Amino acid sequence: MTTSLLLDSHAILANANAIQPVLCEEIDEAERRRQLTPRIVQALRSAGVFRMPMPAGWGGPEVDILSQIEIVEAVSRGYGSAGWCAMIGSDGGYFSASLDDHVGRRLFADLDAVTAGMLQPRGRLDIVHDGFLLSGHWSFGSGCTHADVICSGAAVFEDEQPVLQADGKPEWRIALLPAAEFTILDTWYTTGLAGSGSNDYTIERAFVPREQTFRFGEVKRTGPLYAWPGLFLANVYGRASGHRSGCARHRHRDTVHQADCARQ
């Protein structure tokens, strides 16, 4: 398996194919734990899967979306829950495109950092000096058990009143914080994607610098991979196609339940 720090799309795809036996071997333990095993997480990190959309300016591979789909498909052939978590865990490269470059680089100092979380405004951001206090309870935090950074959508409040935008709609921002600041709740008991660790997570009045928040659709980085803010969703198709031809030991039980595990 290629381990060079200068991984490109071809090397990451080759690595994703190479780790399939490891993923398949770990299925029973991951299903028992209801989250990916440390061995699976390390295999994905070493393969370079989580760094797929990291920008070339940081030394990342900035993998095109079609190649990302192929890579997620390859991981999913080994274990569907690993493919699902690879897909979501690699979102950091996209979300950092909405931050000032130095802020994103600080949060994602490791190109293989894992991202988890939900973008919908299930939480609350109270305005304070230089930032916000974040509180909330979010569901379906796939991969939060091994994440480095968690993103959380929240409505903005000032003096106990929702802040309204120019169009009269409530302001909604997405906050990014180190995963260690959140409490992970053991809520993931299911038959589909059982190893994805898609637990609930909470936080209470944690300070978030304003520069670590953004409005969905704000993009500060150039390049085709970041031109459309919804592109981070596109590699989900690799998870769906990979599942159909996946390891026979889990294919029958690891179906994506869209109603129960809607991405983000």
This model's pTM is above 0.95 = no
Query: Which of these, 143, 149, 135, lies nearest to 95 by C-alpha position?
Result: 149
Neighbours of 159 (CB within 10 A): 7
Architecture per CATH, 114-214: Beta Barrel (2.40)
pLDDT at 207 over 50: yes
Yes or no: say if 135 and 124 are a contact pair by the CB < 8 Å rule.
Answer: yes
Confidence of residue 256 (pLDDT cuts 50, 70, 90): very low
Yes or no: say if 13 and 70 are a contact pair by the CB < 8 Å rule.
Answer: yes
Kindly list the domain boundaries of the chain, sorted by start residue: 114-214
- 4-8, 45-49, 55-59, 202-206: the lowest-pLDDT one: 4-8
